[in-house]
Structure 1
Amino acid sequence: METKLEFITRNLQEVIGQEKLISILKERDLKVYWGTATTGKPHIAYFVPMCKIADFLKAGCEVTILLADLHAVLDNLKASWETVQFRTLYYERIIKSMLTSIGVPLEKLKFVRGTDYQLSKEYTMDVYKMATIVTEHDAKKAGAEVVKQVDNALLSGLLYPGLQALDEEYLKVDAQFGGVDQRKIFVFAEKYMPALGYEKRIHLMNPMVPGLTGTKMSSSEEDSKIDLLDSSASLKKKLKKAFCEPGNIENNGILAFTKSVLFPLNSGKDFVIERPESFGGTLTFKDYDSLETAFAKQEVHPGDLKGAIEKYLNVLLEPIRKDFTTPENIKLIQQAYPAGKPAHTKANVVDDDLSPSLMDLRVGLIEDVKQHPETNSLYVCTVNVGDLSGPRSVVSALANVLSQEELRGKMGMFLCNLKPVLLKGVESKAVMLCAVGKQKVTELISVPEGSKPGDKIFTEGHFNELSNHEDACDASNELERKVWDKLQADLKTDEELKVVWRSLPLCTVKGQLKSKILKNVHIK
Structure 2
Amino acid sequence: MTTNAENGFSPEEKLRLIKRNLQEVLGEAELKKILQEKDLKVYWGTATTGRPHIAYFVPMAKIADLLRADCEEVLGEAELKKILLEGKDLKVTILFADLHAYLDNMKAPWELLQHRATYYECLIKAMLESIGVPLEKLKFVKGTDFQLSREYTLDVYKLTSLVTEHDAKKAGAEVVKQVEHPLLSGMIYPLLQALDEQHLSVDAQFGGVDQRKIFTFAEKYLPQLGYKKRIHLMNPMVPGLTGDKMSSSDDSSKIDLLDSEAQVKKKVKGAFCEEGNISNNGVLAFVKYVILPLSQNHEFVVQRSDDHGGDAVFTDFDALEKAFEDKLVHPGDLKPAVAKCLNILLEPVRRKFDTPEMKKLVSQAYPPPSKKKGPKGGAAGGESELSPSMLDLRVGRINDVKVHAEASALYVQEVNLGEEKPRTVVSGLAQVVPLDDLKGRLGVFLCNLKPRTIQGTPSQAMLLCAAQEEPAKFEPLGPPEGSAPGDRVYIDDYAVGEPEAELKPKKKIWEKLQVDLVANGDSIVEWSGHQMKTKLGPVTCRSLKNVSIK
TM-score, length basis structure 1: 0.65
| Deviation for aligned residue 1:225 | 0.3
- Mapped to 1, the partners of 2:333 and 2:358 lie a distance apart of 35
User: Aligned partner of 1:154: which letter?
Assistant: L
Q: Which runs of 5+ in 1 are unaligned?
A: 346-461, 464-475, 477-524
Equivalent in the alignment of 1:284 = 313
Indicate yes or no: 2:252 matched with 1:242: no
CA contact (8 A) 1:30 1:174 kept: yes
Q: Does 1:188 align with 2:188?
A: no
Change (3 A) 1:80 1:344: closer
1:30 to 2:40 alignment:
yes
Looking at structure 2, the residues matched to 39 and 85 of structure 1 have their Cα atoms a distance apart, in angstroms, of 11
In 2, the alpha carbon distance for the partners of 1:341 and 1:26 equals: 56
| Counterpart residue number, 2:525 | none
Partners of 1:245 and 1:157 in 2: CA distance: 39
Q: Distance in 2 between the 1:138 and 1:152 partners?
A: 16
Letter in 2 for 1:44: I
Does residue 253 (structure 1) correspond to residue 307 (structure 2)? The answer is no
Cα drift, residue 269 of structure 1:
3.2
Give the Cα–Cα distance (whole angstroms) in 1 for the partners of residues 321 and 171 of structure 2.
Answer: 34
Aligned partner of 2:196 in structure 1 is 167
Given candidates 270, 273, 283, the residue that maps to 2:299 is 270
Q: Distance in 1 between matches of 2:193 and 2:139?
A: 18
Aligned-partner SS, 2:139: strand
Which amino acid in 2 is paired with 1:18? E
Partner of 2:146: 117
1:307 corresponds to which letter in structure 2? P
Q: Is the 8 A contact 1:63 1:110 kept in 2?
A: no
2:59 equivalent in structure 1: 49
Q: Map of 1:275-314 to 2, 5 A cutoff?
A: 275-314=304-343
Report what 2:363 is aligned to: 334
Residue pair 2:301, 2:313 contacting (<8 A) in 1 also: yes
Decide whether the 8 Å contact of 1:63 with 1:108 is kept in 2.
Answer: no
Distance 1:271 1:72 in 2: 36
1:285 partner letter: F
Aligned counterparts of 1:309 and 1:269: Cα–Cα separation in 2: 14
Percent of residue pairs bearing the same amino acid type = 67
1:34 shift after superposition: 0.1
Task: Give, in angstroms, the shift of residue 222 of structure 1.
Answer: 0.7
Q: For each residue in 1:221-254, what CA deviation from the matched residue of structure 2 results, as whole angstroms up to 9, or x when unmatched? A: 1111000000011111111211111111111111
Q: Give the aligned partner of residue 127 of structure 1.
A: 156
Work out the CA distance in 2 between the residues paired with 1:4 and 1:45.
24
2:244 is matched with 215
The secondary structure found in structure 1 opposite 2:190 is helix
Partner residue, 2:133: 104
Q: Using a 3 Å threshold, how does the CA distance of structure 1 residues 140 and 311 change in structure 2: closer, same or farther?
A: same
Whether the 8 Å CA contact 2:48–2:108 is kept in 1: the answer is no
1:275 shift after superposition: 1.2
Indicate yes or no: 2:37 matched with 1:8.
Answer: no
1:345-384 aligned within 5 A: none
TM-score (norm 2): 0.62
Q: Are 1:40 and 2:50 counterparts?
A: yes
1:10 is displaced (CA, Å) by 1.1
**Paired AA for residue 253 in structure 1:** G
Q: Which amino acid aligns with 2:217?
A: F
1:59 aligns with 2:69: yes
Match of 1:518 in 2: none
Provide the aligned length of Structure 1 versus Structure 2.
Answer: 349
The answer for the alignment partner of 1:95 in structure 2 is 124
What RMSD in Å do the two structures reach over aligned CA positions?
1.8
Q: Render the CA deviation track for 1:370-412: whole Å, top value 9, x for unaligned.
A: xxxxxxxxxxxxxxxxxxxxxxxxxxxxxxxxxxxxxxxxxxx
For residue 268 of structure 1, report the CA deviation from its aligned partner: 4.7
Q: Deviations over 1:16-56 (max 9, x none)?
A: 11111111111111110000000000000000000000001
Is contact 2:353–2:359 with CA below 8 Å preserved after alignment?
Answer: yes
* Residue identity opposite 2:165 in structure 1: E
Distance in 2 of aligned mates of 1:270 and 1:326:
33
Is the CA contact (8 Å cut-off) linking 1:63 and 1:109 kept in structure 2?
Answer: no
SS in 2 for 1:124: helix
SS in 2 for 1:247: coil
Secondary structure of 1:328's counterpart equals helix
Separation in 2 of the partners of 1:268 and 1:288? Answer: 14
- Tell me the equivalent position of 1:77: 106
CA distance in 1, matches of 2:177, 2:285: 25
1:109, 1:171 → 2: CA distance?
15
- Look up the equivalent residue of 2:311 and give its one-letter code: T
Per-residue deviation at 1:84? 1.8
Partners of 1:78 and 1:27 in 2: CA distance: 41
Q: CA 1:238/1:327 → structure 2, altered by over 3 Å: closer, same or farther?
A: same
Q: Which moved more, 1:87-96 or 1:263-272?
A: 263-272
Once residues 315 and 155 of structure 2 are traced to their aligned partners in structure 1, the CA distance between those partners, rounded to angstroms, is 50
Q: What is the DSSP-based 3-state SS (H/G/I as helix, E as strand, rest coil) of the residue aligned with 1:272? A: strand
- TM-aligned CA deviation for residue 299 of structure 1: 1.0
Counterpart residue number, 1:509: none
Deviation at 1:270, TM superposition (A): 2.6
Residue 341 of structure 1 and its aligned partner are, at CA, apart by 5.4
